[in-house]
């Protein structure tokens, strides 16, 4: 015999089940019409492989959005679409062919304007052998034209000539260890020993050494005694 609690539970279960649209004879599942997108608001799942997805509002919203889109199943956007290629309008920017333009109309026009201002172009390409890259007596080129050529622009060359003109030493009178101005020959310039027994130092050095030696009571003729 059922208890009072069980009786109340059975009654409430019947009431709840009566309110439920789904029951043992009409169970809800992934195949139920209210789970499948068939044109109403309830079902949203895809009915078949090519079927719609979503409720009625979803479907209508999608149709409205697709209607505004210039691209669709019959006009799919891709790398070869006219609106993806640079063909003279603002939309496409990709290069159509190997030698085609790149960019939209504004990009193309700006590039043409910039190239028009540039002294160098396809027919006058700048490089290491261009006259404006070589030292040919103007201000532009600074690179050495040949092995014995000048280096630098006109200002550089003139400055070097001016500086070299002030220099006592040059290709015809190079300074080195055997130059008279490097050897001790009785003037102030040279200080290096000329020969094995030669003097060392400039004129002032020699005179100071002679003076110091003259004050010393010991010398070559009277050496300091070795006790």
pLDDT tens sequence across 157-176 = 999 999 989 999 988 999 99
- What's the confidence (pLDDT) of residue 48? 86
b vs e for 103-120, b when ≥16 Cβ sit within 10 Å of the residue's Cβ? bbbeebeeeeeeeeeeee
Does residue 208 form part of some domain? yes
Does residue 113 form part of some domain? no
- What's the confidence (pLDDT) of residue 103? 96
- What's the confidence (pLDDT) of residue 227? 65
Q: Are 84 and 78 in contact (CB under 8 A)?
A: yes
Query: Which structural domain range is residue 157 located in?
Result: 131-166
Does residue 31 form part of some domain? no
Does residue 158 form part of some domain? yes
pLDDT in tens, 73-110: 889 999 999 999 999 999 999 998 899 999 999 999 99
| 226 pLDDT above the threshold of 80 | no
- Domain total of the chain: 2
- What's the confidence (pLDDT) of residue 22? 84
Does residue 64 form part of some domain? no
Does residue 42 form part of some domain? no
pLDDT in tens, 26-53: 888 999 999 999 999 999 999 888 889 9
Does residue 210 form part of some domain? yes
- What's the confidence (pLDDT) of residue 201? 94
Quick check: pTM over 0.75? no
b vs e for 170-207, b when ≥16 Cβ sit within 10 Å of the residue's Cβ? eeeeeeeeeeebebbeeeeebbbebeeeebebbbeebe
Residue 150 DSSP code:
-
């Amino acid at each position: 015999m059922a208890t009072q609690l069980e009786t109340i539970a059975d009654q409430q279960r019947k009431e709840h089940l009566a309110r439920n649209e789904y029951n043992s004879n009409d169970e809800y599942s992934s195949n139920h019409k209210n789970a499948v997108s068939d044109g109403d608001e309830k079902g949203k799942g895809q009915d078949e492989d090519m079927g719609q997805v979503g409720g009625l509002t979803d479907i209508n919203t999608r149709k409205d959005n697709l209607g505004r889109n210039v691209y669709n199943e019959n006009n799919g956007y891709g790398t070869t679409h006219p609106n993806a290629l640079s063909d003279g309008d603002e939309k496409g920017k990709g290069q159509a062919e190997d030698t085609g333009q790149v960019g939209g109309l504004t990009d193309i026009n700006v590039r043409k304007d910039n190239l028009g201002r540039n002294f160098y172009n396809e027919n006058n390409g700048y490089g290491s052998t261009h006259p404006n890259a070589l030292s040919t007596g103007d201000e532009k080129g600074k690179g050495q034209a040949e092995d014995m050529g000048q280096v630098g622009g006109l200002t550089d060359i003139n400055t070097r000539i001016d500086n070299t003109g002030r220099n006592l030493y040059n290709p015809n009178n190079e300074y080195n260890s055997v130059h008279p101005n490097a050897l001790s020959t009785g003037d102030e310039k040279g200080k290096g020993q000329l020969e094995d027994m030669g003097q060392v130092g400039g004129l002032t050095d020699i005179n100071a050494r002679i003076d110091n030696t003259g004050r010393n009571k010991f010398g070559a003729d009277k050496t300091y005694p070795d006790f």
